Structure 1
């Protein structure tokens, strides 16, 4: 009885994943969709593993399916684990959110390919999977996008539509054929409605990194991390470090892409040559499953699964995968393996593992084989159970931190500073090694300090509170750079905090400069960082250094109006009127002529023209885009503020 129900529970949990994941989301965290789908996948896989362990103990044996995709899957998961290990920080988030999908995907594949044994089970799985995706498509028709974006929905439906159509055309006449045609029709309708919105120039045109830039980033990453890449989920670090300067001339110049252009380039960058080779090996191993014994024919289920699989690997060349895309990819391969079991091919075999306990008996004692105690399931169950406890303990902390962080952002949106602060204290307590939370907490401290310092007639206690908040802002910003020193954004945040303290904290200017330099080293093609550093020098009246930084800014992005505008102000301070006039001419060529900025710049250009030496003009090329802001000095300290400790 235990074996029967544990087997059913294992099947239920594993096959619920591809059905529930497309439909599931929770508005409890900052990411309603992908993060919560990932957590659900972990929960269902973990429960499936737990039920399978009970089943193995009840049957006193360990049954596993060995197939050609097994070793490539294991290699891919091992590459992800090794990449995390050799690319610190090795935080709970990096394991669970970054590499956990590859590790859980391997466990899911091993269990599903083992537990699904018969052709009817495969057919039932296909029907459930198609129905789940069709419900997702139907919800989209009602303006309820359960996947998070039109692109993720379209890619999900497109990757399974060929399989659904094969099942519809191959099914025998009857209710099942009608059902498949109806489900396929819903998917086609949703694809047309949502796919139209993704066309160039439409309102939902996706913003994706272009493949040539992604290729250059991947190749440059391999020069320093050849075999294991930068680590799963950490593409943004490679992007900032190796971003081609040519991207600054596009509309997406100020976007820090978190994923590569497609799955293959993502794996190349984050998991290195080993990860990419394992994925290609996996594709080849699945392709070998097409081999059949003489006299046998391919079934409708197998044909549908192969249609879905090949569509997915083609789609992987065009876009990066979401959590649901990866799970669909894994379940497709798992069902392909299960579908081969009845064919008795060499690519798929079940192996039964047993290990009995040693028992001391008297000589000539009759041996009753029924009394043998199989201990192998226990050997597997105990460490697996320990691993599950560790995983779910950390998962609870990670999810709790995300939950409270979402609450803190909601409080901040309501301008509730106290609740924002208190909730972020909880967040940092739950996830002290998460640099993202430390950055947010540092900014909250600084914002509260600025808000309090803006009041008139501060009491001694309030002045001390301002000083404490500023010290905490510095501490948290420093902590973020210590947790992950390879993220340019952490150093830029630290630099901005120091920059805001220049007028009332000794040495803040030097610390700000050092932090900006480190951020620029990690994000050398970012014109914004050099613009900010130039603004710091301008506020310190170090005009030569400010000029050099602004010149570097416009070299990186020749159509950035603010770079020329600030450069003009530097030249004005140095009384270099011709150079100031030339820089302001560039601004005129860039800004919209009918905008407020355009009118202001024309007035300033007219004033500069009056200061030019006779017969001096300058012709400048025409470019586009930009917003104007004069470099501003750091805010002054409130009266009698205690010294700030740096």
Structure 2
């Protein structure tokens, strides 16, 4: 039993030491995915050890605190929100796995609750050492030392600069407190040095997030964040849109004034700060419990308690910045360190009740182990395929894990690219024609699979529409399917002018100029200062024989493009010759920089294929 206790203790200490530092380049997201993997492995091993201890001892000791109910309620809301959400369950539970992070964080919270004060002090020391190493890496990155170029610029072992700032800020009080209170002069000096190094890392992180710095993160404005949160609550008041699904609300509910900002084409996956992000993803219940955790944990508050000060600092930073879910295990660890516990439980008369009690946890370990293997192994193969161009691994990825829309999107694009490369051959044989047909059908099937897995994701419908558009010369009724796909994308992302330009382009290529005009007019309304919308509308007016309106739009376009650009040359020539070329609806053949004229009808090519309807 002593061996199990030692394993239990050092497994946990190793986990909290490695977590802030851990990253693996074998994943597309080397920081977030790697930390989720480490956390999953660590929690599963710790849970297994505790199961064995419970069965062997035949007793059950559990230390509880006043905040347990709120922690459990928060994780339950995360799970319910993920289940009820019409968006991707894979994104919530697996990768990026915000819900799984919260579940594992809850386990970590209860593991720390079982510690005596001495063990909690050791945990604090381990976090300090981890923060020192992370800070040293940050300093090396900032100094850009040639001999250590492998670390890279703006490196953060936490994954991003806001996470580093938060981590250093919440660990710093522990180091300085121990430096002041420590009686041993050697320990006092060591903690003082540790605090100094962490302070340097904190200062560099704070410097990097200053406005107008190149390293400063792009953040959604508070007004837009609030508007999105309110509209989301109107649609999903209690449980929100689900963890890791902020982008869906951003697409659907961002105000039209957002299109007047310089970052109008940027997609935000988090709100301006953490509570607003939680409000959108977990609803009113989620944000109330999230803030209640702070309120209960900070009572009574004392500046002489570094735990309370760290929790307060975490709250302040969360009100300013959107904190990554990757930091929630550290947050829950802080809450546990700041909480007093009392013992509950008892000794069983036989080992059978102890075994029965562990059955749910055994099932949890087995299930999570199985899912984790499939998720992380497929992610490894996917990254290998992308980096090494080993496309034969793609089918293996889809066999192991067919639940990620990302994998299906890549498969769709790959099949279409291969089909296009074969179609460009000067001498196409019957065998090539059959291959092209199969590749295009497979591309459509994969794109539709992505839509099926995450039907509330506008980019999936946009991708499907793009594929239909690109095969319009090969497939009958492809344009009609493209119209349906783009229309659904517009429903999910209503103020995106690019989607309306693509949809209008389909009508234009079918010579349905009146319909094209209506769509392009809406694109102009969505973003009046977007030159491409006005130019496409002008071409549609021209095709519809509304020459004066076409001239008006071309003149507006001239005011929106650079005078010395090829775009200006194109528009000027189009304007000068529009009266002479009323019958010709094609734009002048001049290379452009940003303007994309609507597509003209493509000649039918062989082989004609049947589009999959299921």
Please give the TM-score of this superposition, normalised by the length of structure 1. Answer: 0.86
For residue 89 of structure 1, report the CA deviation from its aligned partner.
Answer: 5.8
Change (3 A) 1:20 1:634: farther
Mapped pair 1:138 → 2:149: no
**Which residue of the partner structure matches residue 352 of structure 1?**
345
SS at match of 1:29: coil
**Which residue of the partner structure matches residue 507 of structure 2?**
537
Change (3 A) 1:259 1:299: closer
Change (3 A) 1:20 1:377: same
- State the distance in 1 between where 2:32 and 2:607 align: 49
The answer (yes or no) to whether the contact 1:227–1:272 under 8 Å persists in 2 is yes
Change (3 A) 1:503 1:247: same
- State the distance in 2 between where 1:386 and 1:537 align: 55
SS at match of 1:502: coil
**Which residue of the partner structure matches residue 248 of structure 2?**
237
For residue 152 of structure 1, report the CA deviation from its aligned partner.
Answer: 2.6
When structure 1 is superposed on structure 2, of 533-542 and 210-219 the one drifting more is: 210-219
For residue 243 of structure 1, report the CA deviation from its aligned partner.
Answer: 1.6
The answer (yes or no) to whether the contact 1:354–1:376 under 8 Å persists in 2 is no
Within the candidate set 277, 280, 284, 2:288 is matched to 277
**Which residue of the partner structure matches residue 334 of structure 2?**
332
- State the distance in 2 between where 1:442 and 1:478 align: 9
For residue 540 of structure 1, report the CA deviation from its aligned partner.
Answer: 1.2
Within the candidate set 594, 603, 611, 1:627 is matched to 594
**Which residue of the partner structure matches residue 68 of structure 1?**
66
Mapped pair 1:310 → 2:309: no
SS at match of 1:23: coil
Change (3 A) 1:457 1:76: same
- State the distance in 2 between where 1:98 and 1:498 align: 33
Mapped pair 1:108 → 2:108: yes
Change (3 A) 1:45 1:635: farther
Unaligned stretches of 5+ residues in structure 2:
142-150, 583-592
SS at match of 1:316: helix
SS at match of 2:343: strand
**Which residue of the partner structure matches residue 434 of structure 1?**
404
Change (3 A) 1:78 1:644: closer
For residue 166 of structure 1, report the CA deviation from its aligned partner.
Answer: 3.1
- State the distance in 1 between where 2:575 and 2:207 align: 46
Task: Give the length in aligned residue pairs.
Answer: 588
For residue 503 of structure 1, report the CA deviation from its aligned partner.
Answer: 2.3
SS at match of 1:352: strand
Within the candidate set 359, 372, 385, 1:408 is matched to 385
1:601-620 aligned within 5 A: 601-608=571-578
For residue 72 of structure 1, report the CA deviation from its aligned partner.
Answer: 0.2
For residue 162 of structure 1, report the CA deviation from its aligned partner.
Answer: 3.5
Within the candidate set 17, 23, 26, 1:25 is matched to 23
SS at match of 1:504: coil
When structure 1 is superposed on structure 2, of 129-138 and 89-98 the one drifting more is: 89-98
- State the distance in 1 between where 2:203 and 2:65 align: 38
1:8-407 aligned within 5 A: 8-88=6-86, 91-96=89-94, 97-114=97-114, 116-118=115-117, 120-143=118-141, 144=151, 145=155, 146-172=157-183, 174-288=185-299, 290=301, 303-337=305-339, 340=340, 348-356=341-349, 373-407=350-384
SS at match of 2:64: strand
When structure 1 is superposed on structure 2, of 504-513 and 161-170 the one drifting more is: 161-170
Please give the per-residue CA displacement for 1:603-628, whole angstroms capped at 9, x wherever unaligned: 4444459999xxxxxxxxxxxxx921
- State the distance in 2 between where 1:90 and 1:518 align: 17
Unaligned stretches of 5+ residues in structure 1:
291-297, 341-347, 357-372, 413-418, 613-625
For residue 61 of structure 1, report the CA deviation from its aligned partner.
Answer: 1.2
- State the distance in 2 between where 1:39 and 1:399 align: 7
For residue 516 of structure 1, report the CA deviation from its aligned partner.
Answer: 1.1
- State the distance in 1 between where 2:554 and 2:177 align: 64
**Which residue of the partner structure matches residue 519 of structure 1?**
489
- State the distance in 2 between where 1:423 and 1:256 align: 30
For residue 640 of structure 1, report the CA deviation from its aligned partner.
Answer: 4.4
- State the distance in 2 between where 1:42 and 1:289 align: 33
Which of 1 and 2 has greater Rg? 1
SS at match of 1:68: coil
- State the distance in 1 between where 2:579 and 2:417 align: 41
- State the distance in 2 between where 1:404 and 1:177 align: 48
Please give the per-residue CA displacement for 1:507-549, whole angstroms capped at 9, x wherever unaligned: 1111111111111111112111111101111111111111111
Change (3 A) 1:632 1:610: closer
Change (3 A) 1:635 1:127: farther
Within the candidate set 466, 469, 475, 2:445 is matched to 475
Change (3 A) 1:234 1:93: closer
- State the distance in 1 between where 2:421 and 2:274 align: 45
- State the distance in 1 between where 2:88 and 2:346 align: 35
- State the distance in 2 between where 1:469 and 1:244 align: 40
- State the distance in 1 between where 2:366 and 2:213 align: 47
The answer (yes or no) to whether the contact 1:438–1:480 under 8 Å persists in 2 is yes
For residue 56 of structure 1, report the CA deviation from its aligned partner.
Answer: 2.3
- State the distance in 2 between where 1:597 and 1:537 align: 23
